């Protein structure tokens, strides 16, 4: 992570915090406006990372030991002399590269971004897919989004629902006690429907009851049925 | 986007900015600590969004018109009474849901997160895959990462390299003029290698020359060859 000509030290701290959140350790700073950035309070949980940040006079020295240098930009229609990739794809290339060697990810100043001279050190540029109406992101937020995409694990996107729903047997027990409750309450007597049991059975199944809740629902319904029946006796 | 009991108005502004960056419009605020959050300067490009934020007394009212309510948490091992999903998967479920109805995404206070009462309004919880060493993210950064993942477009991750490399014919012209230059400079005379032309041909092909640069390289090499040959003549 290389921050070039950053103006606000709080943004350097926020970048350090995002690095720490996503497991990146090496922060390099080129010509910050504020020399006292190392005390930025925004680096929550990342003060050591910030204290170890390396300072450089120019981009060339800051990226000298890297084999891939990627610049970030919000601009889309500037006369870009570089390939411009969306974050989804760029981060994938960065991830592959990180397996074998060092990658420098450059962020420019809050006000002007990276200069043309800074960009000339880059192999290609990357942009976050923001809306046309407001393409400019806060520096700390842009760093967080980029690093998240690099560590993002696609295999978790397809994570299947865990089969936690109640068994058919449990659901059927609940259906029967619900039918008892409906009879005891008089609901079924008032509305005579020929296929009522099937309808109620489908109604209960559409709830997709979680397995852990099956016993609770059975208990609630049993209590209700018991109460209705015990109140009936004194009257009858 | 529902921010619950947010302490720092700058974080509300930063959340508004990230919403604007990723195309979300409806911000709801439940019991902020600072009433004057609407002027937060951090909402760069999102002041209208912030001005239109709706205030609520409690979570129940803030989420009343939503059909899916998702809470965010950094904690993993708390006694969670809800399914906890990684952002990669949770955002996919949210995206699907957004096609047909409203989703509320809840963020708690910077210090304590969402309370158990807040969480009881949620269908499930989502966590950003941060490192064990520093799981706690800045609120504005967490909002940006979550919204990015919701709008992230997987089809761009597989974007193929555009075929911008020079044609075999151009590469061969460059190879020949380079061989001329090597001969004119005396490099080839000094090192006699039998299959030198094949080696140079492979050397040039490994450059993967961009199509747009082919003419430039040809021009540079032709000028060098011309210079070397024209300087030779006066001597010879």
pLDDT tens for each residue of B96-125: 999 888 999 999 999 999 998 999 899 999
- Write down the pLDDT at residue B65: 93
Nearest CA in chain B to A132: B21
- Write down the pLDDT at residue B160: 60
Estimate to the nearest angstrom the gap between the alpha carbon of A170 and the chain centroid.
Answer: 35
Inter-chain residue contact B86 with A18, CB threshold 8 Å: no
Q: Span A2-156: which CATH code?
A: 3.40.1280.10
Those residues of chain A whose CB sits closer than 8 Å to some CB in chain B are 14, 17-18, 20-23, 42, 44-46, 83, 85-89, 92, 128-131, 133-138, 140-142, 144-145, 148-149, 151-154, 156-159, 162, 164
> Measured between alpha carbons, how far is A54 from A32 in angstroms, rounded to an integer?
11
User: pLDDT tier at A236 (50, 70, 90 boundaries)?
Assistant: very low
Query: Between these two residues, B61 and A228, which has the higher pLDDT value?
Result: B61
Give tens-digit pLDDT for B7-26. 999 999 999 999 999 999 99
Task: Report the length, in residues, of chain B.
Answer: 236
Enter the tokens of residue A16.
Answer: 């350090």
Estimate to the nearest angstrom the gap between the alpha carbon of B132 and the chain centroid.
Answer: 22
Which percentage of chain B shows pLDDT scores above 70? 92
Q: What is the signed CA dihedral for A44, A47, A52, A53, rounded to 10 degrees?
A: 40
Inter-chain residue contact B152 with A140, CB threshold 8 Å: no
Q: Do A126 and A74 meet the contact criterion of CB atoms below 8 Å apart?
A: no
Query: Between these two residues, B148 and B201, which has the higher pLDDT value?
Result: B148
Inter-chain residue contact B153 with A129, CB threshold 8 Å: yes
> Measured between alpha carbons, how far is A165 from B42 in angstroms, rounded to an integer?
45
Instruction: Report CA torsion sign: B204, B209, B213, B214.
Output: positive
CA angle A144, B11, A20 (to 5 degrees): 30
- Write down the pLDDT at residue A62: 96
- Write down the pLDDT at residue B193: 66
Say yes or no to pLDDT of A163 above 60: no
Which of A11, A44, A95, A148 best tests the B interface by mutation, with the highest count of B CBs <10 A?
Answer: A148
> Measured between alpha carbons, how far is A69 from B96 in angstroms, rounded to an integer?
36
- Write down the pLDDT at residue B36: 86
pTM of the model: 0.79
- Write down the pLDDT at residue B236: 45
- Beta-bridged to residue B228, according to DSSP, are none
- Write down the pLDDT at residue A104: 96
Tell me the DSSP string of chain B: -EEES---HHHHHHHHHHHHHHT----EEES-S-GGGGG-TT-TT-HHHHHTPEEESSHHHHTTT-SEEEEE-S-SSS--SS-EEEHHHHHHHHHHHHTTS-EEEEE-BTTTBS-HHHHTT-SEEEE----GGG-PPPHHHHHHHHHHHHH--HHHHTPPPP--BPPHHHHHHHHHHHHHHHHHHTHHHHS--TTHHHHHHHHHHTT--BGGGHHHHHHHHHHHHHHHHHHHHHH-
Averaged pLDDT, B124-149:
95
Cβ-Cβ contacts under 8 Å, A18 against chain B:
137-138, 141
CB atoms within 10 A of CB B96: 11
Q: CA nearest A59: which of A49, A69, A73?
A: A69
> Measured between alpha carbons, how far is A30 from A47 in angstroms, rounded to an integer?
19
> Measured between alpha carbons, how far is B29 from B51 in angstroms, rounded to an integer?
11
- Write down the pLDDT at residue B232: 61
ipTM over 0.95: no
Would you state the CATH architecture of domain B2-157?
3-Layer(aba) Sandwich (3.40)
- Write down the pLDDT at residue B234: 58
Å between B174 CA and nearest CA of chain A = 22
- Write down the pLDDT at residue B155: 79
Enter the tokens of residue A19.
Answer: 């690095």
Q: Do A166 and A214 meet the contact criterion of CB atoms below 8 Å apart?
A: yes
> Measured between alpha carbons, how far is A112 from A56 in angstroms, rounded to an integer?
19
Those residues of chain B whose CB sits closer than 8 Å to some CB in chain A are 14, 17-18, 20-23, 42, 44-46, 83, 85-86, 88-89, 92, 128-131, 133-138, 140-142, 144-145, 148-149, 151-154, 156-159, 162, 164
- Residue appearing with tokens 């008892």: A180
Nearest CA in chain A to B162: A83
Cβ-Cβ contacts under 8 Å, A141 against chain B:
14, 17-18, 21, 140-141, 144
User: pLDDT tier at A192 (50, 70, 90 boundaries)?
Assistant: low
Instruction: For B112-143, give one letter per residue: b (16+ CB within 10 A) or e.
Output: ebbeeebbebbbbbbbbbbeeebbbbbbbbbb
Task: Report the length, in residues, of chain A.
Answer: 236
User: pLDDT tier at B77 (50, 70, 90 boundaries)?
Assistant: low
User: Could you give the residue ranges of the DSSP H alpha helices within A160-213?
Assistant: 168-185, 187-190, 196-205
Say yes or no to pLDDT of A139 above 50: yes
User: What 3-state DSSP class applies to A196?
Assistant: helix
- Residue appearing with tokens 């990357």: A126
Q: Do B121 and B65 meet the contact criterion of CB atoms below 8 Å apart?
A: no
- Beta-bridged to residue B84, according to DSSP, are B125
Any idea which of A91-100, A129-138, A191-200 has the lowest mean pLDDT? A191-200
- Among candidates B45, B129, B136 on the partner chain, residue whose Cβ is nearest the Cβ of A44: B136
Residues 6+ apart with CB under 8 A from A22: A144, A147, A148, A150, A151, B130, B131
Say yes or no to pLDDT of B130 above 70: yes
Task: Give chain B's mean pLDDT.
Answer: 88
- Write down the pLDDT at residue B159: 63
Nearest CA in chain B to A147: B145
Q: Do B184 and B228 meet the contact criterion of CB atoms below 8 Å apart?
A: yes
- Write down the pLDDT at residue A77: 65
User: pLDDT tier at B208 (50, 70, 90 boundaries)?
Assistant: confident
Q: Do A215 and A174 meet the contact criterion of CB atoms below 8 Å apart?
A: no
Inter-chain residue contact A138 with B14, CB threshold 8 Å: yes
Q: CA nearest B170: which of B224, B225, B221?
A: B221
Cβ-Cβ contacts under 8 Å, B14 against chain A:
138, 141
Query: Between these two residues, B81 and A234, which has the higher pLDDT value?
Result: B81
- Among candidates B86, B136, B138 on the partner chain, residue whose Cβ is nearest the Cβ of A159: B86
First to last CA, chain A: 81
């Amino acid at each position: 992570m290389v921050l070039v000509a950053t103006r606000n030290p709080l943004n350097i701290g926020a970048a350090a915090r995002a690095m720490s959140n996503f497991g990146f350790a090496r922060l390099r700073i080129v010509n910050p406006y504020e020399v006292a950035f190392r005390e930025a309070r925004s680096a929550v949980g990342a003060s050591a990372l910030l204290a170890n940040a390396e300072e450089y006079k120019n981009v060339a020295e800051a990226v000298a030991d890297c084999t891939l240098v990627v610049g970030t930009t919000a601009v889309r229609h500037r006369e870009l002399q570089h390939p411009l990739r969306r974050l989804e794809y760029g981060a994938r290339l960065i991830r592959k590269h990180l397996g074998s060697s060092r990658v420098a990810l450059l962020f420019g100043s809050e006000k002007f971004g990276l200069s043309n001279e800074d960009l000339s050190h880059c192999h290609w540029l990357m942009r976050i897919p923001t809306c046309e109406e407001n393409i400019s992101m806060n520096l700390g937020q842009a760093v967080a989004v980029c690093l998240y995409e690099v560590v993002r694990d696609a295999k978790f996107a397809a994570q299947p629902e865990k089969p936690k729903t109640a068994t058919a047997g449990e659901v059927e027990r609940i259906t029967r006690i619900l039918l008892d409750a409906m009879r005891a309450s008089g609901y079924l007597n008032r509305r005579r429907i020929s296929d009522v049991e099937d309808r109620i059975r489908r109604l209960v199944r559409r709830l997709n009851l979680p397995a852990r809740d099956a016993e609770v629902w059975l208990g609630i319904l049993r209590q209700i049925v018991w109460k209705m029946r015990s109140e009936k006796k004194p009257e009858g």
